[in-house]
Structure 1
């Protein structure tokens, strides 16, 4: 296939409207929770341990990775990557076969997990892949499955429609944001709160259950953010070398009775009872105000540029050559 043919194929794919996403009432007592955060904020680490703890508490849990990196389940499965829904669907389609649940869903110690995946770099839209992934889940019976919790791991940096699907289509009951005491992760958390506020005004019902503070070094900016937007802190996982090392080695620390297990027991309890709240997102100055000016450059003032500045020298305003005719 030539580059022109590939380009035309991508254009044709982009022009195909996806099937409508299910918008009916939830028929089972399942809490569907979307977790958003900046890439690298620790969503996958937290969710793998949280889902494991919930399963040990006797809950039926389904963990779905909705990040094109497909790394949500890597910690849960000891570093092993599982086949993604998107790549499996493509392979099955070429072979003239249907995708089965056993092709894409795997389990460990009571936790069921799968990855939606994403397209190859430069060859498709990640958000569109999310939409088609959920379409396939519906065909596999998503709305008839019997789980206590369905946890969706979404990349919060991306603001296109596919990644905002759970909020825009009321596919979940509540959202949890993950952040640390740094500007970038709180910026993403604030953007998610803005999305929730926007769709609430449009008639949506999704709310924010709270924030999970990860890599907490005690400086307090994430707590201040939670107070400012009006959401609770569900738990705070400390910046600790033992946690970092075990996570890097794909070890589950969210086990009942373990050193760090109480953190995830608290998180599971708080998530279960947290109501979906309507947040009050901050503007940029409000975000900057959470940090000291020395840390963020908040004491910098905008200085307008002039035409002389743009030319690197002087600039004289010349009379206009426009001809102005007297009105008749």
Structure 2
């Protein structure tokens, strides 16, 4: 079983990418489980066709842990994909990172996850606290993909995630599996990301073009694989899914300084 995670700056398109990859994998017969680790609990929206209304933390808030059953927190999405949302605290109350820890520990205790060919953790933003680092630190995910554009702060988040992977690689199997470029149409973006990936001692495994078909699909609460299966964008996600299945180029990253990031961005004429 492959255990992977998508990380990246908030709003960079992790959940969209994750859901389309999950859909593509399911359509070639793979058993897929996607676990959203974001308090907005919107990772699986495109797979379920709606925002998940029963997150792990919702159950913990309303029931004694001994009363929670697998079916309370496990949901079935598009083409049989297993969907789980960790959930989060009420706005302004509690720690979202801590919520991830509690949610994943409960899933373990209940042995709640069915047999899968691939488990995909969709994790909020940067590695800024122990909770969001948990999939890396505790070995839930072994292959980490970082979703990034060519914008400076997106690269900054990606570089910080690489620091977290490097820190925990020495005591476990976690490795950087590659950069997924999610285009924002900044100048020289693909070339910039290719160079950035090389600086981190990894590869640019995909460059996802910006296409309005993605927004149209999301407005219809569907992945591109459902909404426009014959589109060029759907083929991009299919190719990325195949790459993830066969990728063996797993590395311990070599993060760079912020000064180096700024120099890289300035050479390509991009602006944050």
Matched, 1:129 2:99: yes
Relative contact order higher in (CA < 8 Å, ≥ 6 apart): 2
Partner Cα distance (1:48, 1:132) in 2: 23
1:82–1:114: 8 Å Cα contact kept in structure 2? no
| Structure 1 residues 73 and 269: CA distance shift in structure 2, 3 A | same
2:54–2:73: 8 Å Cα contact kept in structure 1? yes
2:126–2:161: 8 Å Cα contact kept in structure 1? no
Higher Cα radius of gyration: 1
SS of 1:150's equivalent?
Answer: strand
- 1:262 aligned residue (192, 215, 235): 235
2:135–2:141: 8 Å Cα contact kept in structure 1? yes
Q: How many residues align?
A: 264
- 2:36 aligned residue (52, 57, 65): 65
1:186-197 counterparts in 2 under 5 A? 186-197=155-166
Where in structure 1 do 4 or more consecutive aligned residues deviate above 6 Å? none
2:9–2:148: 8 Å Cα contact kept in structure 1? yes
Partner Cα distance (2:175, 2:81) in 1: 25
SS of 2:84's equivalent?
Answer: strand
Partner Cα distance (2:271, 2:152) in 1: 8
1:56–1:110: 8 Å Cα contact kept in structure 2? no
1:156–1:189: 8 Å Cα contact kept in structure 2? no
Cα displacement (A) at 1:286? 1.1
Matched, 1:199 2:168: yes
| Structure 1 residues 242 and 257: CA distance shift in structure 2, 3 A | closer
More helix by share: 2
User: Which residue in the other structure is 1:119 paired with?
Assistant: 89
Cα displacement (A) at 1:257? 5.0
User: Which residue in the other structure is 2:182 paired with?
Assistant: 214
For residues 31-54 of structure 1, the C-alpha deviation after alignment (integer angstroms, 9 at most, x for no partner) is 111110111100110111111111
Cα displacement (A) at 1:258? 1.8
Partner Cα distance (1:68, 1:295) in 2: 31
Cα displacement (A) at 1:243? 2.3
2:127–2:160: 8 Å Cα contact kept in structure 1? no
User: Which residue in the other structure is 2:49 paired with?
Assistant: 78
1:215–1:240: 8 Å Cα contact kept in structure 2? no
| Structure 1 residues 229 and 97: CA distance shift in structure 2, 3 A | closer
2:50–2:221: 8 Å Cα contact kept in structure 1? yes
Partner Cα distance (1:44, 1:92) in 2: 28
